[in-house]
Amino acid sequence: MRRKKNIELPRLSTAIFTAALFLAPLCFATAARATCEDLAKFAVTDGKITSAVAVAQTTAIPLSILHVSLAAPLDFCRVAATLTPTADSEIKTEVWLPDPAKWNGKFLGSGNGGFGGSLTGPAFDMRKALAGGYATAGNDLGHEITSLVIDGTWVIGHPEKVKDFAYRADHATAEFAKALIAAYYGRAPRLSYFKGCSNGGHEALMEAQKYPADYDAIIAGAPANAWTHGMTGFLWNETALNAHPQSAIPQSKLAMIQNAVLAKCDALDGVKDGIINDPAACHFDPAVLSCKSGDAPDCLTHPQLDALRKIYDGPVNPATGKSIHPGFPAGAEGIPQNWETWIIGPKASQGQFANQFFGSFMWGDAKWDYRSFDFAKDVDKADTELGPIINSNNPDLSAFAAHGGKLILYQGWADAAITPWGTIQYYQNIQQKMGADEAHRFVRLFMAPGMMHCGGGPGPNSFDAIAAIDQWRDQNHAPEILMAARYADPIAVLTGAPLGAPQSTRPLCAYPKVARWVGKGSPDEAQNYTCGTAKAAKPARP
């Protein structure tokens, strides 16, 4: 593509721009800063600015895919750009810059979800960060989607787009955003953070592993960091539920399954509230649900029981008997829009993601049939061909730690998209690789009982991880507790609408500790909990 001529902008420290190699050299004047309108002329070597617009407080920020809008929490400069680090790259990114009088001097990058494809995913965290005075940025991971259909065919024939999706889009956005911030404010951000959940959690850990100097602290929620094995788990569940016509578990039986698990384990923590506080302490045998004869609404047939056990246990190599990836905890099956959305049914999201991933990313075949997958051989093929590019499960975070980085991992125990056991496994791998003491110096993991994928669910699921990571990195105050709340309207939590009083609150304790009710006071109030060792509490007296 033809490059624009250099444009004069106010003078800045030359060192800021030499770090961002893809930006064209700028001519400098004295200590003034650029205006929002000036940023439209910002010369980008590998890419171009497409707009720079001043947005007034309360103005609607449209999110086209969801057909909703976010209200601007304050005045800001909205800059959109297309970055092209390779000839086949087209990374749409936006940088939101608060008024200089309200900038806190820091930058927050925001991750996407699923296969990305728009600014919709990052926008929710970007809005929250903007309200807190952060300059913030997000991108579409190098491709565009216009609907909520799960589609990976955009990658077929485009190997560079795999790299953009896996890691390059976020790195290019970080460098571009920091240079733009310096141009607008006349100084670089003092600290830079990244936050993402789901695939955004995968992005977060990729930044920590591959580009440890991009960010000073990182929040990775429900990280889909083991893509090749996690997607294998999705296929495993789909295969188990379709092994025979009788294997499918009807959605109408999910509540029955969950009720049986709750009857066994809900009161282990002394609080009977419809939430399993510590699934590790729950030893549920689904055999108790076995139908005595035939099929019925309140039991499971033998093929259905076999499928359920496979979902709980996770994928296994049939040739070696070795576990490939952890399964899913019991106790969240009947939560609305949980298992029924992700695991059960012909249009379950797990199956859609896995078919698109293996069909498009590995075999380049939009019509690939999941029934051809060989669990004894094809996992190794995926690990060899795609693992080095897309997996962000390397436990060696020594470079990030040496940079002074801090990392918060979090996960909902009721997550039916990314297995909670996988996040715990990754945390333990960090401890094993780096030593428990060294890991404790810069990593914390928080598990949220009753929280679904990245939020929602019957448990307290709203907490300020950005404030926690900021206090840790900027003030050296390591978080041992995240205070969580549950509100009546989960959408308001995302959009920044008024929340009202919380329905319940609870501390989330740094793993492996769990929150325990002290035995008096309301179990819906966080003040009545303490953090203790992760073992089952005695049932409460009637």
| pLDDT at 368 > cutoff 90 | yes
What would the mean pLDDT of 407-433 be, rounded to a whole number? 98
pLDDT confidence band for 535 (50 / 70 / 90): low
pLDDT, residue 539, reads 33
What would the mean pLDDT of 427-440 be, rounded to a whole number? 98
Q: What is the pLDDT of residues 443-472, one digit of tens each?
A: 999 999 999 999 999 999 999 999 999 999
Q: Say if CB 328 and CB 311 are below 8 A apart.
A: yes
CATH 3.40.50.1820 in the chain, residues? 14-225+390-478
Active site residue 192: no
**3 state DSSP class of 356:** helix
Residue found by looking up tokens 């902008």 in the block:
9
| pLDDT at 108 > cutoff 90 | yes
From the candidates 143, 171, 202, 453, which is the catalytic residue? 453
What would the mean pLDDT of 509-534 be, rounded to a whole number? 95
The percent of residues in the chain predicted with pLDDT above 90, rounded, is 86
What would the mean pLDDT of 292-302 be, rounded to a whole number? 95
| pLDDT at 32 > cutoff 90 | no
Of 81-95, 286-300, 481-495, least confident by mean pLDDT is 481-495
| pLDDT at 10 > cutoff 70 | no
Of 243-247, 299-303, 428-432, least confident by mean pLDDT is 243-247
Q: What is the DSSP string of 189-248?
A: -SEEEEEEETHHHHHHHHHHHH-TTS-SEEEEES----HHHHHHHHHHHHHHHTSSTTTP
CATH, domain range 14-225+390-478? 3.40.50.1820
Give the pair of three-digit tokens for residue 466.
Answer: 């950005």
| pLDDT at 16 > cutoff 70 | no
What would the mean pLDDT of 350-367 be, rounded to a whole number? 97
| pLDDT at 440 > cutoff 80 | yes
From the candidates 38, 125, 164, 415, which is the catalytic residue? 415
Cα–Cα distance measured from residue 491 to residue 310, given in angstroms and rounded to the nearest whole number: 33
DSSP at 253: G
CA proximity to 125, closest of 390, 507, 493: 493
| pLDDT at 439 > cutoff 50 | yes
pLDDT, residue 13, reads 32
From the candidates 198, 247, 360, 504, which is the catalytic residue? 198
Neighbouring residues of 504: CB distance < 8 A, sequence distance ≥ 6: 459, 460, 485, 486, 524, 525
Cα–Cα distance measured from residue 352 to residue 333, given in angstroms and rounded to the nearest whole number: 19
pLDDT, residue 1, reads 39
| pLDDT at 31 > cutoff 60 | no
Q: What is the pLDDT of residues 243-279, one digit of tens each?
A: 999 999 999 999 999 999 999 999 999 999 999 999 9
Q: Which pTM was predicted?
A: 0.92
pLDDT, residue 533, reads 86
Cα–Cα distance measured from residue 379 to residue 387, given in angstroms and rounded to the nearest whole number: 10
Q: Say if CB 393 and CB 228 are below 8 A apart.
A: no
Active site residue 244: no
What would the mean pLDDT of 488-506 be, rounded to a whole number? 90
What would the mean pLDDT of 71-89 be, rounded to a whole number? 97
| pLDDT at 24 > cutoff 80 | no
CA proximity to 324, closest of 220, 211, 421, 428: 421
pLDDT, residue 29, reads 30
Mean pLDDT of the chain: 91
pLDDT, residue 277, reads 95
| pLDDT at 14 > cutoff 80 | no
Between 344 and 33, the higher pLDDT residue: 344
Active site residue 453: yes
Cα–Cα distance measured from residue 449 to residue 460, given in angstroms and rounded to the nearest whole number: 8
| pLDDT at 288 > cutoff 70 | yes
Cα–Cα distance measured from residue 302 to residue 292, given in angstroms and rounded to the nearest whole number: 10
Cα–Cα distance measured from residue 306 to residue 310, given in angstroms and rounded to the nearest whole number: 6
Cα–Cα distance measured from residue 532 to residue 408, given in angstroms and rounded to the nearest whole number: 20
